[in-house]
Amino acid sequence: MEIQERNMQHSRVSDAQDPFLLKGMKEALRRIIKAVNEREKIVIYGYYDLDGITAVSLLLLVLKYLNADVEYVVPEDMDEDFGIDSDIIKNHVKFLGAKLIITVGCGVNSVSQVELCKNLGIDVIITDYHKCSKVLPETLIINPNQEGCKYTFKDLTAVGIAFKLAQSISMYYQMKCISKYLDLVMIGIISRNISLTGENKIMVSQGMYHLNYTNNYGLKALIKIHNIVNINKESICKLAYNIVPVSKSRRNVDNARIAVELFTTASMDRAEQIAKYLKNETKGNELCIS
């Protein structure tokens, strides 16, 4: 695997660190290249909050652009350790014919579940930001908070880490427009309602710029349906809190899956239909901007 310096220039985000400083990134990229080039089934596994939804959507868009055979799973339940659901692996992912699972924002403490995947012939790449336990799954892990990771910014979110992975993919495949996805990344980061420092601040700032020129039909539809005239932190916070409710319910998980379709659809008509539906679903949501 060789990545030319010129490819890195195309894929860099101003003032952001090299994604290959993240422990496990080179090995994860090698496995993804194999899956893409050999048309292996890839399943992206993510959480039902907006950070997870945007992370799933981002990797779907990037891998579909490369003509990868890719699907996704948003589980109905997630335990307090943000683990992988063994039943979903046995009863769903296995029957999809998956050869590779990529988690976003979950799975770093899923030791037994990764072992199950191995026994089923499924490789796992875990991308997560949660605190790591002493015993980690025996698989490829990308987490700035794992021991031995030299990446100095430790507060990346699920979609932030997914973007670093997308950057590395873009470097290999010479994708010159990876930064256009920062509009989606920005939505996910802001939804976490965290203090914007370091690379999170950089990605949000550049994401707002790209949102003004977005070619994502879902984001265009949301801006139209919510009558957003000025793109700023306040308007984007309002938007983020009115895509998927924060509360956990079966209906909200279903809406999370609909939101993935919103961000990945190639139809403006379908995007507007979904945006209107989600707006009706989230009427009365309270917004808290830090």
* Residue 243 pLDDT level (bands cut at 50, 70, 90): confident
**Which domain CATH number covers 187?**
3.90.1640.30
Note whether residue 197 is domain-resident: yes
Ramachandran class of 97: left when φ > 0, alpha when ψ lies in -120 to 50, beta otherwise: left
Residues in Cβ contact with 189 at an 8 Å cutoff, skipping those fewer than 6 apart = 51, 157, 159, 160, 196, 200, 203, 204, 207
| pLDDT the model gives residue 77 | 67
d(CA 182, CA 13): 9
pLDDT in tens, 180-220: 999 999 999 998 888 899 999 999 999 999 999 999 999 99
Asked if the structure places residue 290 within a domain, the reply is: no
Task: Answer whether residue 192 is part of any domain.
Answer: yes
Query: Rounded to an integer, what distance in angstroms lies between the CA atom of residue 44 and that of residue 55?
Result: 9
Q: pLDDT tens, 9-37?
A: 545 566 789 999 999 999 999 999 999 99
Residue 289 belongs to some domain of the structure: no
pLDDT score recorded for residue 281: 78
Nearest to 122 by CA among 140, 148, 135: 140
Range of the domain at 243: 5-281
Q: Are 102 and 73 in contact (CB under 8 A)?
A: no
Residue 155 pLDDT greater than 80, yes or no:
yes
Band (pLDDT 50/70/90 cuts) for residue 286 is: very low
Percent of the chain with pLDDT over 90: 71
> 288 lies in a domain?
no
Please indicate, yes or no, if residue 232 is contained in any of the structural domains: yes
Determine the length of the chain.
290
Give the pLDDT confidence of 135-148 residue by residue, as tens digits: 999 999 999 999 99
CA end-to-end span of the chain: 43
Give mean pLDDT, residues 254-278.
93
Residue 173 pLDDT > 70: yes
Does 212 fall in a domain? yes
Instruction: Tell me the pairing of strands 69-73 and 98-104.
Output: unpaired
118 located within any domain? yes
Task: Count how many domains the chain has.
Answer: 1
